[in-house]
Amino acid sequence: MARRQPEQQAPPVQRLRIRYAKRGRLRFTSHRDFGRAFERALRRAGIPMAYSSGFSPHPRISYATASPTGAASEAEYLEIALAEVCVPEKVRDELDAALPTGLDVLAVVESDGTSLADRLTGSLWRIELPGVDQQLIEEAAAAFLAAESASTERMTKNGMRSFDARAAVVRLDVLAGAVSVVTEHLTPLVRPDDVLTAMTRLRPAFAPDLPQITRLLQGEIDHTTGEVTAPF
């Protein structure tokens, strides 16, 4: 008996890039949970998705660097491939209406054909530190910036891993009751909570209890100014 060949899908006719936000209680949505919610929203909105070939076709969605579970974000990105040409603004409106409040579609543009991942080299984070004395914030920030390296460790799918959080921080500014941090997307990826852990190791009294983390920007990082420019 001849083996059944996998179905071959037609190539996409359009690619759209999407910027979305995670706000309020939806900041606790995991990347996997968001993926499921987003695919349901695509079906509910009737977006004509292109599918992969093979025995188990799936919608062509490319996710960029996801924010940690529990962190809010104004700058999450993904790219979708379509089987029909659509108006980006209409896709934005239909997807935003199909997603729950707190997962908000901010912008949709047509892809220019470049790699979206290559344009997301850094992030700007704001970390609110309620209940932490301002002097402790300043001391921990100064110690972190003065250190040649600042080790931290985190459980990964391959077990506990140690790495240098300082190497990824391009800029760190102290604000009133908060810090602003620009991180470079290195491997392994350094998250803002990793930076807080490293700061606490340098100044144990710092130890923020319930930090509130928000990604404000994600895009191309300028190492001269420490600024991040959104891809669109």
Of 72, 99, 118, the position where a domain reaches its end is: 118
149 within domain boundaries: yes
Indicate the number of domains in the chain.
2
Hey, what are 124's tokens?
Answer: 């700007």
Residues 217 and 175 occupy one common structural domain = yes
Query: In the chain, what are the helix, strand and coil shares in percent, each to the nearest 5?
Result: 25, 35, 40
Does the global pTM surpass 0.85? Answer: yes
pLDDT category at 54 given cuts 50, 70, 90 is confident
Q: Which residue has the tokens 């997807």?
A: 95
Residues with Cβ < 8 Å from 29, sequence gap 6 or more?
Answer: 22, 37, 69, 103
Residues 18 and 75 occupy one common structural domain = yes
pLDDT category at 56 given cuts 50, 70, 90 is confident
The string of pLDDT tens digits covering residues 155-209 is 777 788 888 999 999 999 999 999 999 999 998 899 999 999 999 999 999 999 9
Nearest to 12 by CA among 44, 47, 39: 47
Question: Where residue 39 sits, what CATH number does that domain have?
Answer: 3.30.70.580
* Phi, psi (degrees; rounded to nearest 5) at 174: -90, 130
Question: Where residue 176 sits, what CATH number does that domain have?
Answer: 3.30.70
Q: What is the pLDDT of residue 162?
A: 87
Residues 124 and 113 occupy one common structural domain = no
CA distance 115 to 136: 41
Residues 130 and 103 occupy one common structural domain = no
78 within domain boundaries: yes
CA distance 42 to 46: 6
Give, in degrees to the nearest 5, the angle at Cα 227 between 224 and 231: 120
Which structural domain, as residue segments, surrounds residue 175? Answer: 120-229
Note whether 158 and 209 are within 8 A (CB): no
6 within domain boundaries: no
Residues 132 and 168 occupy one common structural domain = yes
Cα of first residue to Cα of last residue in the chain, in angstroms, is 52
pLDDT category at 5 given cuts 50, 70, 90 is low
The string of pLDDT tens digits covering residues 74-130 is 999 999 999 999 999 999 999 999 999 999 999 999 999 999 999 999 999 999 999
Note whether 68 and 193 are within 8 A (CB): yes
Note whether 86 and 16 are within 8 A (CB): yes
101 within domain boundaries: yes
Burial class (CB in 10 A: 0-12, 13-18, 19+), 65: middle
221 within domain boundaries: yes
Residues 21 and 58 occupy one common structural domain = yes
